[in-house]
Structure 1
Amino acid sequence: MNPTTQPVAIGVDGSPGTSGAIRAGLDEARRLGAPVLLVHVVPDHVPMTPMLPLVGPDLGLTGAAILHEVAAEVAELAPDLHIRTDLRHGPRASQLAKGAHDAAVLYVGRDDRPLFERVLLGNTAAGVASRATCPVVVVPPEWPPGSGARGAVVVAVKSPAHSTELLADAFAAAAALGDRLLVLHSWKLPTGYDDIVVSRVAADELTERSTAELETLLHEWRTTYPSVGVEIRIVHDQPAHALVRASRDADLVVLVRHAHGFPTGSLGGTGRAVLRDAECPVRIVPPGAVTAVAGLVLEQAGDITK
């Protein structure tokens, strides 16, 4: 692969929660032949007590020390890579996204704080993935697993609307990792309707039709990436459940971010659930300007994986 001048950005805060993101980001930088950009965001204030917030210069000095220490550790881990740092100030999610505006990809650690704290203080990983203009990879702290590579990249396909960018990213990731690609389409209608529809339509017929449509969609990608083995899986289940289950045997899950008229797009309930519970890194691809691909229109009325 030809080296790239676009950096691999990694959000760091000095906590153990970002260790998986650092390891995965360094691996990506080596694969791309890219420099590394370590981004740390200094918050506007830290409420030590209701009457005594830590603000201003104290926070800036602390943030600079954290970033310097992490950069030194990363330099020891990756002496072969060029490393830069970026110290930013303000809201963490938006500043991480801005810091990675010219990056090839941004790696962040998964936010495993209790639900109450995420609601109160915000979920950094989900916030970044909703805003960034480059792909964002959210990595569990304990990644990679002790068992080593699992051999699969999972890509969730809903419809042709954003499939060009989604499949381009997923096939490239599978080729880079030497993995097979599992193309997952999951559908389930609302309770009541689902029972009626499934009881009246043979499941085998639905699977056969959906598989044929996906084969059409994937034809050119198979030709472009002949070394990537492809498996199609049609699942009658809630999308988040199906994706989390598939993540147990995967090295990466690839999703596309919704684009519903908002400049930054939206993850949606499925995306947020997968970020929270997946057992491997999750890569969120921004929708961008994607041309629709004819040949795949699946269960538009259902709550379907995207």
Structure 2
Amino acid sequence: MTVTVGVDGSESALEAVRWAVEEARTRGERLRLVHAETPLFDAPDLDRKVRARLNDQAWQVLREAARVAGDGEPELHVEVGAAAEVLVAESTRAGVLVLGTRGLGGFGALAVGSTAIAVTAHASCPVVVVRGEKPARPGPVVVGVHGGPHSVPVLAHAFEEAAARGVGVVAVHTWHPVVGDVVALSAGVDLAEYDALHGGRLARLLSPWRTRYRDVPVEVVVGRGSASVALLERAEDAALVVVGGRGHNSLTGLLLGSTSHALLHHAPCPVMVVHTEPRNT
């Protein structure tokens, strides 16, 4: 498996490379740098020198990224095609796919543009969007826990990342009072009891991970209201935030949740999105 980075010559992509170098070392995996060369329409009169020049530029981008990677000794790969399609294809052989927040050309407007949205929604492996002015920083791994079996792959990656870094996990779960809860509140029932109920469920969900990763400290946060707000607050001091993403039905159909979207746009640290549902092609 590899830690694969989409690079396009932008400073944001180079920040992603710097983060990925440490991730590859932590995982003990190879680093792979990929650039999508803009496809040209076949035309008999197209000057071969134009194609050669574009290819040279692509390799210059990769060589600069390799220089930034230093002794990471990355694999370099140029693929002709649309950026999102190239990276989604790369995700089938990667352990994790790493992107910057803003790019040029092939990976433009990442985290808010169509390329990042498509890649994050459709990749076969977890995707990390490297955010923040200082993306490589100490701190815990913050994980959003929705609850139920869909949380299993999210927790698996969160604990794996925390153990590899030698840091703790902050497990965040929020809930919204429904009609029955409001009625109970009006009847004098303390919603703190509901907090405790959700806390108990979260503790049971975390129990096997605590057992498996005994050296990883765990902080449990249960609250009411917006999951994205709670996660963004905890992300201020985090090394990484890990959240789940829903499945997809086509390359153009986005089915990421609102929490994932909010974090991709606003988190002060790198964000890992882990798919929690089957994705149909």
Alignment counterpart, residue 3 of structure 2, candidates 4, 8, 14: 8
Cα deviation for residue 72 of structure 1 reads 3.1
Distance between the aligned counterparts of 1:12 and 1:261, measured in 2? 27
Matched, 1:69 2:57: no
Partner of 1:103: 94
Cα deviation for residue 129 of structure 1 reads 1.0
Distance between the aligned counterparts of 1:35 and 1:14, measured in 2? 21
Distance between the aligned counterparts of 1:269 and 1:62, measured in 2? 37
Partner of 1:167: 155
What 5-or-longer segments of structure 1 have no aligned partner? 1-5, 46-54, 290-306
Alignment RMSD (CA, Å): 2.9
Decide whether the 8 Å contact of 2:13 with 2:102 is kept in 1. no
| TM-score in terms of structure 2 length | 0.83
**Which deviates more from structure 2 when the two are superposed, residues 266-275 or residues 167-176?**
266-275
Partner of 1:25: 20
Partner of 1:294: none
Decide whether the 8 Å contact of 2:5 with 2:97 is kept in 1. yes
Partner of 1:225: 213
Decide whether the 8 Å contact of 1:222 with 1:228 is kept in 2. yes
Alignment counterpart, residue 120 of structure 2, candidates 126, 129, 141: 129
Distance between the aligned counterparts of 1:166 and 1:107, measured in 2? 17
Map 1:34-45 → 2, pairs under 5 A: 34-44=29-39
Distance between the aligned counterparts of 2:170 and 2:203, measured in 1? 13
Partner of 1:267: 256
Decide whether the 8 Å contact of 1:257 with 1:265 is kept in 2. no
Cα deviation for residue 216 of structure 1 reads 1.1
Distance between the aligned counterparts of 1:247 and 1:123, measured in 2? 25
Which amino acid is the alignment partner of residue 72 of structure 1? R
Map 1:1-306 → 2, pairs under 5 A: 6-44=1-39, 58-74=53-69, 77=70, 79=71, 81-111=72-102, 122-140=113-131, 142-144=133-135, 148-150=137-139, 152-188=140-176, 196=182, 199-200=185-186, 201-259=189-247, 266-287=255-276
Distance between the aligned counterparts of 2:147 and 2:254, measured in 1? 17
Partner of 2:45: none
Residues 183 and 141 of structure 1, relative CA distance in 2, 3 Å threshold: closer
Cα deviation for residue 172 of structure 1 reads 0.8
Decide whether the 8 Å contact of 2:122 with 2:248 is kept in 1. no
Distance between the aligned counterparts of 1:112 and 1:87, measured in 2? 17
Partner of 2:47: none
Residues 158 and 73 of structure 1, relative CA distance in 2, 3 Å threshold: closer
What 5-or-longer segments of structure 2 have no aligned partner? 41-49
Decide whether the 8 Å contact of 1:111 with 1:124 is kept in 2. no
Secondary structure of residue in 1 paired with 2:276: coil
Decide whether the 8 Å contact of 1:109 with 1:141 is kept in 2. no
Number of residue pairs the alignment of both structures matches? 263
Decide whether the 8 Å contact of 2:7 with 2:33 is kept in 1. yes
Secondary structure of residue in 2 paired with 1:101: helix
Cα deviation for residue 140 of structure 1 reads 1.6
**Which deviates more from structure 2 when the two are superposed, residues 241-250 or residues 104-113?**
104-113
Partner of 1:301: none
Distance between the aligned counterparts of 2:228 and 2:143, measured in 1? 13
Any idea what the Cα deviations from partners look like across 1:1-55, whole Å, max 9, x if unmatched? xxxxx1111111111112321111000111122211001112347xxxxxxxxx8
Cα deviation for residue 134 of structure 1 reads 0.9
Decide whether the 8 Å contact of 1:44 with 1:56 is kept in 2. no
Residues 43 and 240 of structure 1, relative CA distance in 2, 3 Å threshold: farther
Which amino acid is the alignment partner of residue 76 of structure 2? T
Residues 256 and 265 of structure 1, relative CA distance in 2, 3 Å threshold: farther
| TM-score in terms of structure 1 length | 0.76
